[in-house]
Amino acid sequence: MTEAFHYKGGELFCESVPVAAIARKVGTPVYIYSQNHFVRQVQAIKDAFRDVQPMVCYAVKANSNLGLLRALALAGAGFDTVSRGEIYRALRAGAEPGKIVFAGVGKQEHEIEYALEQGILMFNVESESELELIAKVAARLKADAPIALRINPDVDPQTHKYISTGKSENKFGIDLARAEQCLGRIRELKHLRLRGVHIHIGSQILKNDRHGEAIDRVLPFIERCRKMDFPLEYLNVGGGYGIAYDVGQGVDIAEFARVMLPKIKQSGLKMLSEPGRFISGNGGVMLTQVVHVKKSAEKDFLIVDAAMNDLIRPTIYQAFHKIWPARHPGLADGGVMGADSPLTDTNLGKDAQVYDVVGPVCESGDYFALGRKLPRMEQGELVAVFSAGAYGATMASNYNTRGRAAEVIVNGSEYWVARDRETVEDMIRGERLTPREVFKA
């Protein structure tokens, strides 16, 4: 199958649209998404786990653009959310409330109330304190609150420490001993309905046995719930499946499934999974333009019009993102991340150059790549930062009073602006030059 992002005749395409055409129309920086990639990835998970017919709840935080959520909802996906705002987005996009799960260590009363009123599938409960609060709100609304206990299985996902969530030192989930104690309390709290067990051990997990180990740790707990006559229905195995950030990397989801399936079957529960990055990551690029080429005594800098406020992953996780010019005459045809990718050092051409690719923001941490070997580039050229469909636009900010980038969705040979570029007026909305009302101490 052709990758969503591929080179043909030396031009970068998203599906059947040359990305340069989008830049001409919409400007840069711009996020460009392949709708079909998102939908295909959901299907890939369903196929890999078809023996247990999983419910796939896309993790909205990875990329919450309404147009994409709508395409996913139409494709039958559910949604994993972590705030009232994300639940609202999912519903606006046409999600079925009965396919929405709600996680997060700091759920507030108003969020719990909203989620109950909407009739979501379940809350993934992360502490005893949260159990009490959900029970209180449910009692007030005279409603039943469906819950899953999020277990912290103390498994090392072997990923960057900021995105590890399954170890005992992490703030997420409830350890097994405490979870056991929670069962008695859930019994007492009349409005709680225990429907599932949840685990999510981290993100960008490349080793295919980590999820399996986490499931192993919770199987005895599931047995215990059964013995106590809790009518459990779901085992939510979380998300976290890694993707390719460089040529030829990435995971084979079928390999994850091979390890996980026997254990899921052993649990006797329905499988739910909540991947974000796997669905969205390689469905997006951030396209930016070279503003200046700058030489110093030591280095060559490509200064581009995108910055850390648009894509912060390199800055905070030292994340690697593949970068390449959108036009490269003479480059062989091929998908960007696959084994046949033309984006290799051998295809750099004789004009290869080592660059720091940086943004205009006033911080030395504002970079996309350091010491990167690339084809020689000139002012005005378009540069693609790949694997930017996950945790790109959703982590963007207005730092340096830079408006957030436009977002474009491509579907076959058509594309549309799914989020306008933010204007200065958008950015200062809500601020005042003078007080509207003055309060006295």
Footprint (CB under 6 A) of ligand LLP, residues 155-214? 163, 200, 203-204
Assess 276 for contact with ligand LLP (CB under 6 A).
yes
Interface pattern 292-331 for ligand LLP (x via CB under 6 A): ---------------------x---x--------------
103/290 with CB nearer ligand LLP:
103
14 given a catalytic annotation? no
163/261 with CB nearer ligand LLP:
163
- Tokens 């003055």 belong to 438
275/283 with CB nearer ligand LLP:
275
Assess 275 for contact with ligand LLP (CB under 6 A).
yes
From 13-21, 225-233, 270-278, 432-440, span contacting ligand LLP (CB under 6 A): 270-278
Secondary structure, 3-state, the chain: CCCCEEEECCEEEECCEEHHHHHHHHCCCEEEEEHHHHHHHHHHHHHHCHHHCCEEEEEHHHCCCHHHHHHHHHCCCEEEECCHHHHHHHHHCCCCHHHEEECCCCCCHHHHHHHHHHCCCEEEECCHHHHHHHHHHHHHHCCCEEEEEEECCCCCCCCCHHHECCCCCCCCCECHHHHHHHHHHHHHCCCEEEEEEECCCECCECCCCHHHHHHHHHHHHHHHHHHCCCCCCEEECCCCECCCCCCCCCCCHHHHHHHHHHHHHHHCCEEEECCCHHHHHHHEEEEEEEEEEEECCCCEEEEECCCCCCCCHHHHHCCCCCEEECECCCCCCEECCCCCCCCCHHHCCCCCEEEEEECCCCCCCCEEEEEEEECCCCCCCEEEECCCCCCCHHHCCCHHHCCCCEEEEEECCEEEEEECCCCHHHHHCCCCCCCCCCCCC
54/334 with CB nearer ligand LLP:
54
Contact between residue 334 and residue 342 where contact means Cβ atoms under 8 Å apart: yes
From 36-44, 187-195, 276-284, 293-301, span contacting ligand LLP (CB under 6 A): 276-284
Footprint (CB under 6 A) of ligand LLP, residues 396-435? none
Among the listed residues 39, 42, 59, 311, the single contact to ligand LLP using CB under 6 A: 59
Q: What is the CA 273 to chain-centroid distance, rounded?
A: 13
Assess 278 for contact with ligand LLP (CB under 6 A).
yes
11/209 with CB nearer ligand LLP:
209
The one-letter code for the residue type at 368 is F
From 20-28, 132-140, 275-283, 403-411, span contacting ligand LLP (CB under 6 A): 275-283
Residues in the chain: 441
**Least Å distance between CB 202 and ligand LLP?**
7
**Least Å distance between CB 134 and ligand LLP?**
17
Footprint (CB under 6 A) of ligand LLP, residues 77-116? 80, 103
Assess 238 for contact with ligand LLP (CB under 6 A).
yes
**Least Å distance between CB 57 and ligand LLP?**
8
From 63-71, 135-143, 274-282, 377-385, span contacting ligand LLP (CB under 6 A): 274-282
**Least Å distance between CB 69 and ligand LLP?**
15
Among the listed residues 146, 166, 173, 240, the single contact to ligand LLP using CB under 6 A: 240
Q: Which residues contact 229 (CB under 8 A, 6 or more apart)?
A: none
Assess 60 for contact with ligand LLP (CB under 6 A).
no
Q: How many residues bind ligand LLP (CB under 6 A)?
A: 20
Per the residue annotation, which of 14, 182, 225, 362 is the catalytic one?
Answer: 362
Q: What is the largest CA-CA distance in the chain?
A: 73
78/375 with CB nearer ligand LLP:
78
Contact between residue 232 and residue 195 where contact means Cβ atoms under 8 Å apart: yes
Interface pattern 16-45 for ligand LLP (x via CB under 6 A): ------------------------------
Report residue 173 as tokens: 């989930």
Contact between residue 398 and residue 309 where contact means Cβ atoms under 8 Å apart: yes
Contact between residue 194 and residue 234 where contact means Cβ atoms under 8 Å apart: no
Assess 274 for contact with ligand LLP (CB under 6 A).
yes
225/279 with CB nearer ligand LLP:
279
**Least Å distance between CB 235 and ligand LLP?**
14
Write phi, then psi, for 353 (nearest 5 degrees): -145, 145
**Least Å distance between CB 103 and ligand LLP?**
4
**Least Å distance between CB 62 and ligand LLP?**
5
Q: Which of the residues are catalytic?
A: 362
Catalog residues that contact ligand LLP under the rule CB under 6 A. Answer: 59, 62, 80, 103, 163, 200, 203-204, 238-240, 274-278, 313, 317, 390-391
